[in-house]
Structure 1
Amino acid sequence: MYEVPRRRNCALKWLFRYEQKDSPLHRLDPRVKLLWLFGVSVLSVVLGTPYLLVALFASTLPFWFVLRPSKSRVKAMLIVFGSIGLGFILSQALFYYWAREPLFTLVPSSFPLLGPLTGGIYFYADGAVYGLYQSFRFMTSLSAAMLVLATSHPSGLISGLVRFFEIRVGGKNYRIGLPYELAFMLSSAVSFAPTLLEESGIILNAMQARGLELKGGVRTKVKALKYILVPLVVNILRAGRKLAVAADTRGFRANRHRTYVNELRLKSNDYLFLAYTILFTAAGLYLSYSGFGGTVPV
């Protein structure tokens, strides 16, 4: 008798989900957190020395300790960061142009067909180290983005994107930000990420319960992939259609000028965090233009 597999909990679905808590980060204005994300992302590009890149990534960790995320989110973050670090290390170890002597040879230049085409494939220790600290560029921005998503309610995030800045000219208030349709699209795309992962896990378990074989070589896995992708795409399209119908029934885009129940106003803690963001970003830009920027080979 075939045994139905247990439902697997996909840890990656917790990466982009809002975590409802009452922490100092949750009480911050979403616009301030978006500015902090922008500043950290800019510094991850302009800074170039290994120690500064590691320090920039480490600057996001105290906020995670304040948040105290769930074990599922921590597990998902470790999986993603480990995959990013390993990917950068392997790619740069094999394709590092500034290295002098390889650590060992994977494919010699005398190997038939592949050797003459590539000139040989070698593993460079300098490239592995270079890839390690270059991975901190991507991990820093990703860590900051996940922190903003974990501490900002989707509705508040949309409000922050739409009403990012407000000025008063001639007795009228003008709000500067993204169009509401674009902000809603971005928020919906982010919210679809955990739904997509959860749906893929449900479909995988359902197909295995129906006798789908996943063990075997590449041909077996490719054959099984089409049985998973088709229902996954259908479910995504169905969910998107439901979302569109729900938005239309609630008067989406009915009025050009929208009203909001909760108005965004900066408080004292928001001004403190904004001052920290400005000083932190300015210090990083100063270091970048003082000789610590760019991509410096090992």
Structure 2
Amino acid sequence: MIALAGQVNVEYVFKALNISYDFELIYALGSNLGVADPEAVLELIDACEKAGVDVISMGVVLAWATEMQQRGKITTEDTMKLELSWGDKSAYLKVIDLIVQAPNDFYVALGKGVVYASKKYGGEDFAIQLGGLEIPGYHTGLGNVVGLSVGPRHSHLDNAGYAADQASLNRPLSDEEIVEHIIDEEDRRSILNCMVACLFARNVYTYGNIILALKSIGIDRTEEELKELGKDIFRKKYELKKKFGFKFENLTLPKRFFETASTTGMLEEERVRRAIELYRKKRGV
């Protein structure tokens, strides 16, 4: 309350918002959409949180829809008179709301994800997904594309395939070494997730430290036993995944991955396919 001489008191009301954000959210609704204003990115994140939708998936869907309209593959009749353009926060806020409302077939399709929408309307070459799931903000090379394609959830949290690419920047790795890196990390993360450990601190939780931690509560395990447990957990995840209908034969690799340079250079689809087959052989899946 501020009292001004000879004037009535003026009251100012401020509203504070707590908006959580990290790299993935800034990528999905920021650089991915050409939105450069930090406040605009936060506003889009907040809209997704209030709507209860996944931010990464929403960002990929919005990017696909924008490119589709700019290529003339969808019309303003589909978008209900909205013109989508990169960086247009206002339009994106409206689309988020319309996806939740699902007022026509186009927005129903967007709500079902980029795979469903692109199968119905086209644009599969730039529908950025792997294993049917919209991808996080990494395009680092072979390890990332393979890791996202084969992971139990098709998530970067399954095996951090991008970490294999990062390692190859310091020391060149063969494709087989990258595949082995992915497999080892999948098994280790299976153990860490069972311990409810933060994956950001994963390098703290060496097998040696895990053994000591378990021993403190009366559980004795050797490193070999933990590694075998990790493999068993992975096998059970894949059994469930296959029951839900996953087949390697149906795995699609959008051309955009091979049109855009990764951190470690351009990729060829045939190379990725060979690495996936090598993974299957080593894993027995």
* Higher relative contact order structure (alpha carbons within 8 Å, sequence separation ≥ 6): 1
Write 1 or 2 for the structure with the bigger share of helix.
Answer: 1
Both structures adopt the same fold (TM-score exceeding 0.5): no
TM-score for the superposition, normalised by structure 2: 0.23
User: Whose radius of gyration is greater, 1 or 2?
Assistant: 1
Bigger strand fraction: 1
